[in-house]
Amino acid sequence: MRSEHLKETHRVVIKVGTSSITGGSSGASSEFMDSVARQVRSLKEKGIEVLIVTSGAIGIGLSTMGARPRSREIPIRQAAASIGQSVLMQKWNDSFQRYGISIAQILLTYDFYSDREKYLNLRNAVQTLLEYRAVPIFNENDAVCVKEIDAMFGDNDTLSAMVSIKMDADLLIILSDVDGLYDKDPKITKDAALIATVTDITDTIKMSAGDPSSKVGTGGMRTKIRAAEICHEAGCNMVIANSTVPDVIERIVAGEEIGTIFITDKKEKKKTSWIRYANPSGTIEVDEGAKNALSKHVGLLAIGIKGVAGRFDRGDVVNITFNGNTIAKGIPDYNSDDISKIKGLHSDKMFEVLGHKNYDNVIRSENIVIM
Ligand code: GLU
């Protein structure tokens, strides 16, 4: 029973794809946006907090500029994002005003999950907005982030998963023009069947759906599965559904069998998911003994370190590699200069060489995540 899994849902992130916003046309669909606002109000009346991740800036901007609908030139997409974002927010504002709800625009760059200070600031801002009963509406800051609008790297599916886990949501709803995840690509295979429930994101699940990307957005099923993986590890449920289903948001939250649900019972510690997704500031290469020790969840000693690359401070996240392959990530208690002086040494020698010592371990076990 879905409703059993969703009964503890207190905070929901709704990701709205470009195709849903535009309803297949070149502008924003007020009808759809009004219906989202109406459903959000009804969730808020039940005490559920709602955050939105919206796409559509580039799509709307390109049509306002009279540019080619699927232009892939980065400067044109950056310009389109800046034009489209303000139109998009105006439309969201119109819709939410009808239901007496204030909205807040938050444009993110991906470093919000690597830079702890930025993340904490964002958390405080979002918490305050929710206390004031406003609905935060996120998008990528596409005008300054070339990476984010290049379909190879950034997309709002992944962004919405990161927002969900960093803002402690219990449920992410991804609305787009697909009904959910199919066992085969429904655009190619007639007998493709919708998968209603996924509890384990296996390789078969990852392979199952091909990539039915829609015309104007950048995401496809692949990025949605990636989003599901991120949510799964962090203990956030996720549903993929078609935005054209009437009252889709309210019905999903009520536990109706719509689209595909990815159910999780994990609850990764915040610090663990922080380490897992942070951009590494450097690399520590270890020997086989250290590699084996790490797999038994013990800390990393200087004696097992073969090399250091990059400049990092203590407290930064680094990759831990064996033969050049990342086997773990961690937060060292020593900076890169210190580690290059003590690598290969027994812990007894650390004080003698450095003139100071924090811990015997260069990285303590609680600060290591096996990848
Ligand atoms: N941030 C992009 C936009 O608002 C959309 C990215 C996506 O579709 O995933 O146009």
Per-residue pLDDT reduced to its tens digit, 312-346: 988 889 999 999 999 999 999 899 999 999 999 99
- pLDDT over threshold 90, residue 282: yes
Virtual torsion, Cα 276, 277, 281, 282, nearest 10 deg: 40
- pLDDT over threshold 50, residue 216: no
Give residue 204's pLDDT band: very low, low, confident or very high (50, 70, 90).
confident
The pTM (predicted TM-score) of the whole model is 0.79
Which helix (H) or strand (E) element contains residue 87? helix 74-97
Give residue 147's pLDDT band: very low, low, confident or very high (50, 70, 90).
low
Adjacent-strand bridge partners of 369: 329
- Ligand 1 nearest-atom number relative to CA 139: 1
What is the predicted pLDDT for the residue at 213?
46
Q: Is the beta carbon of 177 within 6 A of some atom in ligand 1?
A: no
Instruction: Give the closest residue to 15 by CA, choosing from 218, 275, 255, 276.
Output: 218
Q: Is the beta carbon of 56 within 6 A of some atom in ligand 1?
A: yes
Q: Is the beta carbon of 304 within 6 A of some atom in ligand 1?
A: no
Give residue 117's pLDDT band: very low, low, confident or very high (50, 70, 90).
confident
- pLDDT over threshold 50, residue 72: yes
Q: Is the beta carbon of 218 within 6 A of some atom in ligand 1?
A: yes
Mean pLDDT across the stretch 203-227?
Answer: 69
Give nearest CA residue, ligand 1 atom 5.
55
What is the predicted pLDDT for the residue at 151?
40
What is the predicted pLDDT for the residue at 136?
98
Q: Is the beta carbon of 237 within 6 A of some atom in ligand 1?
A: no
Give nearest CA residue, ligand 1 atom 2.
55
- Ligand 1 nearest-atom number relative to CA 157: 9
Q: Is the beta carbon of 61 within 6 A of some atom in ligand 1?
A: no
- Ligand 1 nearest-atom number relative to CA 216: 8
Mean per-residue pLDDT of the chain: 88
Q: Is the beta carbon of 180 within 6 A of some atom in ligand 1?
A: no
| Least confident stretch, 2-6, 20-24, 209-213, 217-221 | 209-213
- pLDDT over threshold 60, residue 214: no
What is the predicted pLDDT for the residue at 28?
80
Distance of alpha carbon 271 from alpha carbon 362, whole angstroms: 18
Mean pLDDT across the stretch 52-67?
Answer: 92
- pLDDT over threshold 90, residue 94: yes
Please state, for a pLDDT cut of 70, what percent of the chain lies above it: 94
Distance of alpha carbon 254 from alpha carbon 171, whole angstroms: 12
Q: 70, 140, 178: which to mutate for ligand 1, most atoms within 8 A of CB? A: 140
Q: Is the beta carbon of 49 within 6 A of some atom in ligand 1?
A: no
Q: Is the beta carbon of 280 within 6 A of some atom in ligand 1?
A: no
Instruction: Give the closest residue to 189 by CA, choosing from 167, 212, 206.
Output: 212
Of residues 215 and 28, more confidently modeled = 28
CA 57 / ligand 1 centre spacing (Å): 6
Distance of alpha carbon 16 from alpha carbon 232, whole angstroms: 20
Asked if residue 241 lies in contact with residue 175, where contact means CB atoms within 8 angstroms, the answer is yes
What is the predicted pLDDT for the residue at 154?
58
List of long-range contacts for 207-214, beta carbons under 8 Å, 24+ apart = 208/181, 208/182, 208/183, 208/184, 209/181, 209/182, 209/183, 209/184, 209/185, 210/184, 210/185, 211/185, 212/178, 212/185, 212/186, 212/187, 214/17, 214/18, 214/19, 214/176, 214/177, 214/178
Please state, for a pLDDT cut of 90, what percent of the chain lies above it: 59
For 212, which DSSP code? Answer: -
Q: Is the beta carbon of 282 within 6 A of some atom in ligand 1?
A: no
| Least confident stretch, 27-41, 95-109, 349-363 | 349-363
- pLDDT over threshold 50, residue 185: yes
Of residues 188 and 322, more confidently modeled = 322
